[in-house]
Amino acid sequence: MTTPASETPVLRTPGLVDAHIHPDKTSWGDAWLSRRPAATLTDLIENDRATQHTFAMTVEDRAYALLRNAVENGTMAMRAQVDVSSELGIRNVEDVRAAAERLAPWLTVEIVAFPQFGLLRNPGTLEVMAASLDAGADLVGGIDPGGIEGDLHGHLDAVFGLADRAGRYVDIHLHDGGEDGLAQIREIARRTVAGGRQGRVTIGHAFALCDASLPSLGETLDRVAEAGIWIATCALGPDPVPDIDLLERHGVRLALGSDGVRDSWSPFGTGSMVDRAHLLAYRTGAITDGELERAFRLASSAGGEMLGLAELSDWAGPESGTRLEFAAESIAQLVVDRPAPIRVLRDGAQLTLP
């Protein structure tokens, strides 16, 4: 028997937070993008470089289209990874900041100045990163100090040095796996503690933490927890996913993001963090209501805590003026069914977009 529409339960939840997204790369709103094959991370990066200037729409307009869709699906805050380089300059940062301002006050956006094409191996990029911090970027990014840059200490010296000079937090992409990846993570943790940077550093992806066979995994997780480092995972495609129970037992803080959305790296993604929570739950074998609810928490209040947003991390409950409303019986059902919210409210006002 079908439940009458008037009796459909309304579930009220915290707002959603995307802890790791690349809005400047998206093809959202533009023509279909045919992707080239890529066997390695280097191939993916070079495909990305080749795609940067092929879009008909501007970075601002594509980013706005994606961010708007995310807002309509309940995202209230995000950490945006935005490319800076000697070739691109600060254009992408300026455009993503402009797109974000068009969605204020509904969406809070932190921008990471991300050296996608290398920092040390791409001369001039460090200076562009410094300039981007005056042009709308909030955090200093980094990428695979070992696998991409080939100079662990030189890369971290540059990233942490710029962050310290500018008084900014750090968010480093780390795709490298195996014991080498774990060694890089431990060095990041060591520097975080030594510099008094606890709680101010995030590692995105951290695939090495997903390999339970590595002998030094437990020690590395303890170092990450001691340093207060956040791990941003995305559960994208064939990428490794963490053992969430194991990370929680070691006290590691985890948040969930979209990563790339319909860009040169992948044709998939929607910008909906309910979709992303569903994917994480599916890929980590979630069965119980508690496991499904945890996936939602990583897509909402955990990200709010990572970004330091009290209204999203310390939710005041169903009557809060900042909330989402869904036609669902429970958060577990919500994660499985993946509906869009029927109402989005922030600071007591209902979402209205032109």
pLDDT in tens, 109-141: 999 999 999 999 999 999 999 999 999 999 999
Spot the catalytic one: 175, 205, 250, 278. 205
Measured distance CA(140)–CA(169) in Å, rounded: 6
- Compute the distance between CA of residue 147 and CA of residue 149 in angstroms, rounded to an integer: 6
Looking at residue 341, what DSSP letter applies?
P
pLDDT band at residue 6 under the 50/70/90 scheme: low
Is 205 known to be catalytic?
Answer: yes
pLDDT at residue 147, rounded to an integer? 95
Q: Is the pLDDT of residue 267 over 60?
A: yes
Number of H helices, E strands in the chain: 13, 12
Count Cβ neighbours within 10 Å for each residue of 173-187 and write b for 16 or more, e otherwise.
bbbbbeeebbbbbbb
The pLDDT-based confidence of 49 (bands split at 50, 70, 90) is: confident
Q: Is-contact 243 212, C-beta < 8 A?
A: yes
Taken in order of first residue, the domains within the chain and their CATH numbers are 16-320 (3.20.20.140)
β-partners of residue 72 are none
The DSSP secondary-structure symbol of 26 reads -
Judged against a pLDDT cut of 60, whether residue 54 lies above it is answered with yes
Indicate the helix (H) or strand (E) that contains 182.
Answer: helix 178-194
Q: Looking at residue 5, what is its pLDDT?
A: 52
- Residue 183, CA distances (Å) to 203, 214, 249 in order: 13, 11, 21
